[in-house]
């Protein structure tokens, strides 16, 4: 007995699809069932209007042509020419320039406002970010102004402010030392400014003394020392080191705050 050939279903589909294509194209498919549909498919295909009346075609063609022409005319009208194009271009340029100006003014305003920020202000982060990309001073003089501002408003929470203060490695210079001393002196000589309490002024003064007397420490350590209320920095200074690492062995550069370590706390007491 001859074994029957098993044809996969997918293959059946493929053969069937091929026969369908033959049927649709008007041929005779191999599949007898599909071949039986030839007449039906031919009648279906005959529903196509082989030749529409000329007048009918011309009328529709004229209508479509008119619509297309009107549409093209509208598109052409939208494209500016001559003086209109110049005015449009000028308007676009003015709009772009005005937009740029507004953005520039806005950005400059933010930068300007942030430039005066001190640790504790909402925009101090913006100030530091602008400095990081080279906008704004960001040098020691700005840091010193910030310290003076803190000292002038000690009613604010100093610990919160110094939390934001950058590491003071860069502060240990003659300029910084001068500034610190000036801020410290200004604070001590201006009792009652801003209505600050004696306690808060004392804390700010202690902070400034700490900044001036200890070696390189960071804002967190300063904050901890302020919170503890003893004015001591968390990181001990190397014995024999002054407040300015770059000042070692250069007595001629010493400023008002260039004094031996350990003498700091007595300075405020020396002031009237």
Residues that bind other proteins (CB under 8 A): 13, 16-17, 20, 23-24, 33-34, 36-37, 39-41, 43-45, 47-53, 55-72, 75
Cα–Cα dist 234/225, whole Å? 6
What CA–CA distances, in Å, run from 144 to 106, 123, 136, 165, 217?
A: 27, 17, 14, 11, 16
- Rank residues 58 and 155 by Cβ distance to other proteins and give the closer one: 58
- Rank residues 73 and 87 by Cβ distance to other proteins and give the closer one: 73
On whether the CB atoms of residues 214 and 233 are closer than 8 A, the answer is yes
CB of 16 to other proteins, least distance (A): 6
CB of 40 to other proteins, least distance (A): 6
Cα–Cα dist 56/41, whole Å? 28
CA contacts within 13 A on the Cβ side of 166: 19
Which backbone phi and psi does 112 adopt, to 5 degrees? -65, -45
CB of 97 to other proteins, least distance (A): 33
- Rank residues 42 and 104 by Cβ distance to other proteins and give the closer one: 42
CB of 76 to other proteins, least distance (A): 10
- Rank residues 56 and 112 by Cβ distance to other proteins and give the closer one: 56
- Rank residues 69 and 85 by Cβ distance to other proteins and give the closer one: 69
CB of 39 to other proteins, least distance (A): 8
Cα–Cα dist 117/179, whole Å? 17
Cα–Cα dist 85/91, whole Å? 10
């Amino acid at each position: 007995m001859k074994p029957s050939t098993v044809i996969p279903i997918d293959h059946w589909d493929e053969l069937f699809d091929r026969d369908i294509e033959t049927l649709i194209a008007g041929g005779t498919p191999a599949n007898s069932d599909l071949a039986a549909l030839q007449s039906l498919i031919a009648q279906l295909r005959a529903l196509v209007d082989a030749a529409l009346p000329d007048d009918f075609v011309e009328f529709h063609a004229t209508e479509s042509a008119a619509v297309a022409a009107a549409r093209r005319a509208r598109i052409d009208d939208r494209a500016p020419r001559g003086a209109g194009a110049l005015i449009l271009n000028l308007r676009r340029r003015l709009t772009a320039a005005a937009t740029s100006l507004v953005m520039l003014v806005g950005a400059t305003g933010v930068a300007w406002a942030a430039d005066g920020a001190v640790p504790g202000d909402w925009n101090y982060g913006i100030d530091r970010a602008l400095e990081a990309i080279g906008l704004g001073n960001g040098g020691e003089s700005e840091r010193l102004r910030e310290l003076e501002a803190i000292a002038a408003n000690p009613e604010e929470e100093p610990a919160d402010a110094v939390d934001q203060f950058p590491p003071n490695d860069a502060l240990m210079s003659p300029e910084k030392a001068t500034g610190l001393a000036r801020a410290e002196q200004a604070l001590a000589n201006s009792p009652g400014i801003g209505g600050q309490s004696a306690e808060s002024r004392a804390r700010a003064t202690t902070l400034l003394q700490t900044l001036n007397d200890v070696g390189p420490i960071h804002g967190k350590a300063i904050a901890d020392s302020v919170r503890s209320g003893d004015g001591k920095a968390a990181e001990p200074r190397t014995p024999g080191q002054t407040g300015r690492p770059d000042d070692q062995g250069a007595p001629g550069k010493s400023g008002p705050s260039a004094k031996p370590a350990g003498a700091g706390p007595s300075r405020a007491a020396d002031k009237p």
